Structure 1
Amino acid sequence: MFTHRLVFPASVLRGRGAIKHLGAMCGRLGQRAMLVGGQRAIASVEAKVADQLEQQMVSYLGSEIFGGVCCQEEINRLADVFRTQGVEVIIATGGGKALDTAKAAGVACNIPVVTLPSIAGTCSAVTSLAFRYHQDGEFRDMMPLPCGPAAAVIDADLLATAPLQWLSAGIGDTLAKWYEYRAISDLSQLTGLAGVARTNSELCYTLIEHFAADACFAVQDGKANNALEQVLDAIFLYAGLTSIMSNGAHTGASHALYEGFTACPKTRHIAHGLLVGYGNLCLLALENRSDEELLTAIALARASAVPTQLAHIATGLTEQDLAVIIDRSLSTPDMANMPGDITFEDVRRGIERVEVLGAKIN
Structure 2
Amino acid sequence: MTTKIVASPSKYIQGNEELAKVGNHTRDFGKLPFVIADDFVMSLTKDIIEKSYKDNGSNFVMEKFNGECSKVEINRLKEICRGKSCDIVVGIGGGKTLDTAKAIAHYLNLPVIIAPTIASTDAPCSALSVIYTEEGEFDEYLLLPKNPTMVLMDTKIIAAAPVRLLVAGMGDALATYFEARACKQSNAITMAGAHSTEASYALAELCYNTLMTDGLKAKLAAESKVSNLSLEKIIEANTYLSGIGFESGGLAGAHAIHNGFTVLEECHHLYHGEKVAFGTIAQLALENAPMEEIDEVIEFCIDVGLPITLEDMGIKEVKEDDIRKVAKASTAEGETIYNMPFPVTEDDVYAAILTADKIGRLYK
Contact 1:295 1:357 in 2 (8 A): no
The change in CA–CA distance for 1:360 and 1:341 in structure 2 (over 3 A counts) is: same
My pick for the range that moved more, 329-338 or 270-279, is 329-338
- Corresponding letter in the other structure for 1:54: K
Q: 1:187, 1:202 → 2: CA distance?
A: 17
Equivalent residues in 2 for 1:148-187 (5 A)? 148-186=147-185
Equivalent residues in 2 for 1:251-330 (5 A)? 251-317=251-317, 318-330=319-331
Q: CA deviation at 1:202?
A: 0.4
Corresponding residue for 2:228? 225
Q: 1:344, 1:187 → 2: CA distance?
A: 19
Contact 1:35 1:42 in 2 (8 A): no
Q: Which runs of 5+ in 2 are unaligned?
A: 189-194
Equivalent residues in 2 for 1:75-94 (5 A)? 75-94=74-93
Q: CA deviation at 1:236?
A: 1.5
Contact 2:6 2:244 in 1 (8 A): no
- Corresponding letter in the other structure for 1:26: T
Q: 3-state DSSP class of the match of 1:69?
A: coil
Percent identical residues:
27
Q: 3-state DSSP class of the match of 2:120?
A: coil
Contact 1:256 1:330 in 2 (8 A): yes
User: How high is the TM-score relative to the length of structure 2?
Assistant: 0.91
- Corresponding letter in the other structure for 2:170: I
- Corresponding letter in the other structure for 1:134: T
Poorly superposed stretches of 4+, deviation over 6 Å: none
- Corresponding letter in the other structure for 1:197: S
Q: 3-state DSSP class of the match of 2:267?
A: coil
My pick for the range that moved more, 253-262 or 87-96, is 87-96
CA RMSD of aligned residues (A): 2.3
Q: 2:352, 2:247 → 1: CA distance?
A: 30
Q: 1:148, 1:288 → 2: CA distance?
A: 35
The change in CA–CA distance for 1:7 and 1:184 in structure 2 (over 3 A counts) is: closer
Equivalent residues in 2 for 1:138-149 (5 A)? 138-149=137-148
Q: CA deviation at 1:117?
A: 0.4
Q: 3-state DSSP class of the match of 1:200?
A: helix
Q: 2:311, 2:7 → 1: CA distance?
A: 39
Count of aligned residue pairs for this structure pair: 357
Q: 2:305, 2:65 → 1: CA distance?
A: 27
Q: Which runs of 5+ in 1 are unaligned?
A: none
Corresponding residue for 1:339? 341
Q: CA deviation at 1:284?
A: 0.7
User: How high is the TM-score relative to the length of structure 1?
Assistant: 0.92
Q: 2:145, 2:269 → 1: CA distance?
A: 29
The change in CA–CA distance for 1:208 and 1:6 in structure 2 (over 3 A counts) is: closer
Corresponding residue for 2:54? 54
Contact 2:15 2:154 in 1 (8 A): yes
- Corresponding letter in the other structure for 1:360: L
